[in-house]
């Protein structure tokens, strides 16, 4: 059974774009049991970086009322998916797909959190305070390579309140896309295991979106988990957008993070339908090949079970009410 930390299927369907990776009719055959399904209110797409080294500007903030309007439409797309809403770990079972309602960027929420309860009632169980832009709660990392994730200021007062509110309700706080100052503030404030749903090891790929060794250590020390991102630009040592990237490069990140903080803190966070992934993977159709690559890289049955689903189930169980 495979549980995944991040996909952008909802945004892709909302845009009317062709599904590239998350073909749900293929899920059962590939052992894909679902995971985090993002509601992402998109910024205008920047031009794809054409050089290995890039430094994209931080996109403009999106006003709350506009973000809330788009989020309603995204939520309707989410509700139309042929999946079970996941609010308990045992909603994940082999042979069916369960979806965690995840907000990637808290822009749709009012800064006074007056609508958080309504979203919780709809099943929202995971919030990334930011995507890679600023909002009322925090500031995300701009897409840069090579770059430290230490790119800007930490949380706002509203951001700190949102972390507390998530802890109170048992909502996952996702650290992927946060800048480093924000990361450390959440690490200090949060009483839950730290979670980065779709980020990799900065030591192996120096993208601003990846986690430094110190950040990895903090996630491990909290009992949390890092979802390995399959996006080639966050996997490859040269940060380049090259589809002919071997699955072994993904395994390197899993191996590095497991060596550094332990196998209990490594999982998948595909970024399917939101990023360019290795052509050898293609989408959920390639997950069995990725599992085979893990085994070939020395991951035994227990390690594979932890990476593919047990670690996510543990962290969700420790976080949700
Ligand atoms: Zn993302």
pLDDT digits (tens, 9 = 90+) for 251-310: 999 999 999 999 999 999 999 999 999 999 999 999 999 999 999 999 999 999 999 999
pLDDT for the residue numbered 52: 74
CA of residue 87 to ligand 1 center, whole Å:
21
Judge whether residue 1 has pLDDT over 90.
yes
What's the pLDDT at 50? 65
**Is 2-319 assigned to CATH 3.40.50.1100?**
no
φ, ψ of residue 89 in degrees (nearest 5): -55, -35
Distance (angstroms) between ligand 1 centre and the Cα of 40 equals 8
**Alpha carbon of 128 to ligand 1 centroid (Å):** 9
Of 147, 154, 125, 128, the C-alpha closest to 57 is: 147
Residue 49 has pLDDT above 70, yes or no: no
Please give the distance, rounded to the nearest whole angstrom, from the Cα atom of residue 105 to the centre of ligand 1: 9
- CA-nearest of 241, 266, 249 to 204 is 249
Taking residues 142-156, what's their average pLDDT? 98
Q: Two tokens at 297?
A: 């890289």
SS3 174: strand
Q: 8 CA to middle of ligand 1, Å?
A: 8
Q: DSSP E strands: which ranges in the chain? A: 2-7, 32-39, 54-55, 84-85, 98-104, 124-128, 144-145, 172-174, 195-196, 225-228, 266-268
Q: Bigger pLDDT: 93 or 45?
A: 93
**Ligand 1: distance of its center to the CA of 301 in Å?**
29
Parallel/antiparallel/unpaired status of strands 172-174 and 124-128 = parallel
pLDDT at 80 over 70: yes
Question: What's the pLDDT score for residue 255?
Answer: 98
Taking the centre of ligand 1 as the mean of its atom positions, its distance from the CA of residue 132, in whole angstroms, is 8
Task: Report, as an integer, the average pLDDT of 84-107.
Answer: 98
Instruction: Find the 176 Cα to ligand 1 centroid distance in Å.
Output: 7
Beta-bridge partner residues of 39: 103
pTM > 0.95: yes or no: yes
| pLDDT band per the 50, 70, 90 thresholds, residue 154 | very high
231 CA to centre of ligand 1 in angstroms: 10
CA–centroid distance, 59 to ligand 1, in Å, is 14
Task: Kindly report, residue by residue over 26-35, the tens digit of the pLDDT.
Answer: 999 999 999 9
Which pLDDT band holds residue 218 (cuts at 50, 70, 90)?
very high
Give the pLDDT confidence of 158-195 residue by residue, as tens digits. Answer: 999 999 999 999 999 999 999 999 999 999 999 999 99
């Amino acid at each position: 059974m495979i549980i995944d930390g991040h996909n952008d299927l909802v945004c892709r369907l909302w845009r009317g774009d062709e599904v590239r990776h998350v073909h749900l009719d293929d899920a059962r055959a590939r052992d894909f049991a679902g995971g985090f399904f993002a509601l992402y209110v998109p910024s205008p797409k920047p031009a794809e970086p054409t050089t290995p080294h890039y430094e994209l500007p931080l996109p403009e903030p999106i006003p709350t009322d506009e973000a809330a309007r788009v989020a309603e439409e995204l939520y309707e797309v989410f509700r139309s998916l042929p999946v079970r809403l996941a609010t308990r770990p045992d909603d994940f079972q082999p042979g069916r797909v369960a979806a965690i309602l995840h907000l990637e960027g808290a822009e749709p929420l009012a800064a006074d959190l007056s609508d958080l309860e309504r979203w919780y009632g709809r099943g929202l169980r995971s919030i990334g305070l930011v995507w890679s832009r600023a909002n009322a709660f925090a500031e995300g990392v701009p897409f840069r390579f090579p770059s430290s994730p230490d790119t800007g200021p930490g949380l706002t007062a509203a951001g700190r309140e949102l972390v507390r509110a998530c802890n109170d309700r048992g909502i996952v706080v996702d650290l992927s896309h946060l800048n480093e100052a924000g990361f450390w503030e959440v690490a200090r404030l949060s009483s839950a295991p730290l979670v980065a749903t779709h980020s990799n090891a900065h030591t192996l790929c120096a993208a601003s979106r990846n986690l430094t060794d110190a950040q990895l250590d903090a996630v491990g020390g909290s009992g949390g988990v890092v979802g390995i991102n399959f996006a080639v630009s966050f996997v490859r040592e040269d940060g380049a957008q090259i589809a002919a990237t071997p699955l072994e490069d993904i395994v390197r990140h899993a191996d590095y993070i497991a060596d550094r903080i332990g196998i209990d803190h490594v999982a998948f966070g595909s970024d399917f339908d939101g990023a360019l992934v290795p052509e050898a993977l293609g989408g959920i159709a390639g997950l069995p090949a990725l599992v085979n690559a893990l085994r070939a890289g020395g991951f035994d049955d227990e390690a594979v079970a932890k990476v593919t689903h047990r670690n996510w189930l543990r962290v969700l169980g420790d976080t949700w009410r």
